[in-house]
């Protein structure tokens, strides 16, 4: 019974379409190493199966890793890229508003934009990315005019703080 299983496991197989150059190279290796072509083919098939199945199994965690990296990158980009607040007639922003939102902001197309006096220069620099196309902007008292203007594009009037 064991002999039948062994005979079945080792039978003569004809394979069409084998590249003759590859076959001749394998035959040369077989002669140099003292192995039969059957042993070389079996080793080659084992290696092929191990690599193929290993890649398939190894790709699953790699694919999941790429998906997770993509999700994290999307989150990182969205948390770094400014959020646009726009199209208002009037808006007053205080330090708590900026800190609680926790992201950089672009203020645009606002008729009158007022920053409360509690907005200090560090908070302003950290959270205000740009002020664009606003008719009137009132800066907080502690933020210099030049710092304020460095963030402004196309404003109508900068009020005194």
Name the residue ranges covered by the structural domains of the chain.
Answer: 18-76, 82-158
Instruction: Give the rounded percent of residues in the chain with a pLDDT score beyond 90.
Output: 45
pTM assigned to the model: 0.54
C-beta separation of 130 from 155 below 8 A: no
Mean pLDDT across the chain: 84
Give the CA distances from residue 117 to residues 24, 142, 157, in Å, rounded to whole numbers and listed in that order: 85, 7, 18
Query: At residue 93, what are phi and psi to the nearest 5 degrees?
Result: -120, 130
pLDDT in tens, 107-159: 999 999 999 999 999 999 999 999 999 999 999 988 999 999 999 999 999 99
């Amino acid at each position: 019974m064991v002999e039948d299983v062994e005979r079945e496991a080792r039978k003569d197989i004809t394979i069409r379409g084998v590249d003759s150059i590859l076959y001749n190279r394998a035959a040369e290796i077989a002669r140099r190493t003292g192995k039969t072509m059957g042993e070389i083919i079996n080793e080659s098939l084992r290696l092929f199966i191990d690599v193929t199945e290993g890649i398939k199994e190894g790709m699953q965690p790699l694919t999941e890793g790429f998906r997770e990296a993509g999700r994290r990158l999307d989150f990182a980009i969205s948390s770094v890229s400014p959020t646009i607040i726009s199209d208002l007639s009037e808006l007053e922003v205080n330090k708590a508003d900026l800190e609680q939102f926790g992201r950089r902001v672009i203020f645009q197309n606002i008729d009158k934009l007022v920053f409360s006096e509690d907005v200090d220069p560090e908070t302003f620099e950290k959270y205000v990315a740009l002020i664009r196309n606003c008719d009137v902007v009132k800066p907080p008292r502690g933020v210099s005019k030049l710092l304020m203007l460095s963030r402004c594009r196309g404003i109508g009037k900068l009020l005194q703080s």
